[in-house]
Amino acid sequence: MADSSPQRAPALPPLLRAVHPFVHRQYRVLAAALALSLLGTGVWLVAFVWQVIQLGGSPVELSIVATANAAGTVVAVLLGGAVADRVPQRRILIAVELTKAVAVGTVAAVALTGGLEIWHLAAASLVFGLTDGFFYPAYSALLPSLLPEHELLAANGLEGVLRPAVMQAAGPAAASGLIAVASPGAAFVLVAGSQVLAAAALLLLRPTALRRELDAADHPVGGLLRDIRDGFGYMVRTPWLFATLVYASVLVFVIMGPIEVLLPFAVKDQTGGGAGAFALAIGAFGVGGAVGSLLVATLRLPRRYLTVMNLLWGLGCVPLVVIGVTDALWLMVAALFVVGFAFSAANVIWGTLLQRRVPAAYLGRVSSLDFFVSLAFMPVSMAVAGPVGEAVGFPAVFLVAGLVPPALATAAILLARMPRDELRHPLDRTPPDGAEAAAS
């Protein structure tokens, strides 16, 4: 049962508030493990692409390997959330890192001995996806066990900085260097090594007890299925959560296809840029995300946290309109920086909101539903973006991607009565465990 007395954050300078979670040894260990895990993922994302190319693979074969990862995550994530609410999360994270180490270590050994085939990469990519489906719910459920609640916002902000800095910058850079001087096989060795080190770091974490009580007579399979059903039930009967997830699923459908599929062609055809220009545009999105995450980590949660979060996601899409009409690369870069900034700032609020308002017994399952929503419509959006872009033109597609999200955000805020809800549930104190379900 959580303490219902007010728990206010200590008065700290903004920059110190952003890094204050590091005073806790357990958080430092978890952050180190996360950084090592993200480094391995970043190296893998580049290494498998170049390995497919070196094997003479076609774009179709590269797509198969990449799709295996997404398919694995979609298949595993709901089960991963249920498991995260039943099994100590530290054990799950250790098992995830060791499983990835074995999978990629096997690929590395086969690659270095000259026997690698495309199906080996697809199998390892599938394993990566399956383990991701267990990793994120377990990590989200573990963090509140290690930190005071007033430091969760800063911790989520720091995670938002780590992802672009390590997974999108340091990892790909390390992979490129190793491939240049050696081979993709050498990069796979680095991936496996980083996962082993991440598991070793997690072993230094003290064991944490589950924050729920389980029925000793509960059948494992039946219990997992019931937990998944109960997770959906909690989502549906919690208006702010249900409305946000529905809104987010439509948002992903509207914007991800244009960004992932049409943006490279917009850079090439409208600005005359090549691969370097596209990398600059994508990099601006990542840098904006890091800056947005860091800024939010230095602040306190806004009083109108639900309204601010959803409007950041909605209004943050408006600059996408620029991509469809400009022939200036610097304008595209600026627009993507703003989009990345707004999205990551909102994501930090969202992660903290889940950890503060969702009862501990449901946190793994709700985190998995969040992750599932972010993936479920992405392939559909990518599949339709190309044909629609050719049929109606890029300006129209990016106009929809930029202007529909603010309307969706407004509808979600009003229909779920979020302004009233956020006043009834201020986040400057901890409600009794389970009170959220009753109050909502």
The confidence score (pLDDT) of residue 312 equals 96
Judge contact between 137 and 365, C-beta under 8 A: yes
pTM of this structure: 0.74
Q: Which of 379, 116, 86 is nearest to 218 (CA)?
A: 86
pLDDT of residue 52: 82
Contact 290, 161 (CB under 8 A): yes
CA distance 135 to 292: 24
438: burial class by Cβ within 10 Å (0-12, 13-18, 19+)? exposed
On whether the CB atoms of residues 402 and 320 are closer than 8 A, the answer is yes
Tokens coding 353: 């909101």
Tell me, what's the pLDDT at 69?
Answer: 80
Q: What angle do CA 367, 66, 73 make, to 5 degrees?
A: 20
Half-sphere exposure of 40 (CA within 13 A, CB side): 30
User: All domains of the chain, ordered by start, with CATH?
Assistant: 14-210 (1.20.1250.20), 227-439 (1.20.1250.20)
Helix (H, G, I), strand (E, B) or coil at 6: strand
CB 3 within 8 A of CB 134: no
What is the distance between the alpha carbons of residues 187 and 195, in angstroms, rounded to a whole number?
A: 13
Q: Distance (Å, rounded) from C-alpha 409 to C-alpha 398? A: 17
Find where tokens 């986040």 sit: 427
Per-residue pLDDT 10s for the chain (440 aa) are 333 344 455 555 555 565 666 677 888 888 899 999 999 988 887 788 788 878 887 666 776 787 788 778 878 887 887 788 788 889 999 999 999 999 999 999 999 998 888 899 999 989 988 998 888 888 888 888 888 877 778 777 888 788 877 887 778 778 878 888 888 899 999 999 999 999 999 999 887 766 556 555 555 555 677 777 877 788 888 899 999 999 998 998 899 888 877 887 888 888 887 756 776 787 788 888 888 988 888 878 888 999 999 999 999 999 999 999 999 999 999 999 999 999 989 998 988 888 888 887 777 778 778 777 777 777 777 778 878 888 888 899 999 999 999 999 999 999 999 999 998 988 755 444 444 443 34
Q: Are 326 and 273 in contact (CB under 8 A)?
A: no
Which pLDDT score, from 0 to 100, does residue 222 have? 59
**Are the beta carbons of 242 and 235 closer than 8 angstroms?**
yes
CB atoms near residue 426 (< 10 Å) = 12
Contacting residues for 234 by C-beta, under 8 A, at least 6 apart? 241, 358, 362, 365, 366, 437
The span from the CA of 349 to the CA of 302, in Å, is: 9
Please check whether residue 185 is in contact with residue 112, taking contact to mean a CB–CB distance below 8 angstroms.
yes
CA distances in angstroms from 408 to 36, 307, 313, 315, 344, listed in the order given: 37, 12, 10, 10, 18
- Residue 151's CB is within 10 A of a number of other CB atoms, namely 23
In whole angstroms, how large is the CA radius of gyration of the chain? 22
Contacts of 44 (CB under 8 A, 6+ apart): 104, 128, 171, 175, 187, 188, 191
Q: Which pLDDT score is estimated for 220?
A: 58
**H helices present in 209-328, as ranges:** 220-236, 239-257, 263-271, 275-297, 305-315, 320-325
Angle between the 171-181 and 25-54 helix axes, to the nearest 10 degrees? 40
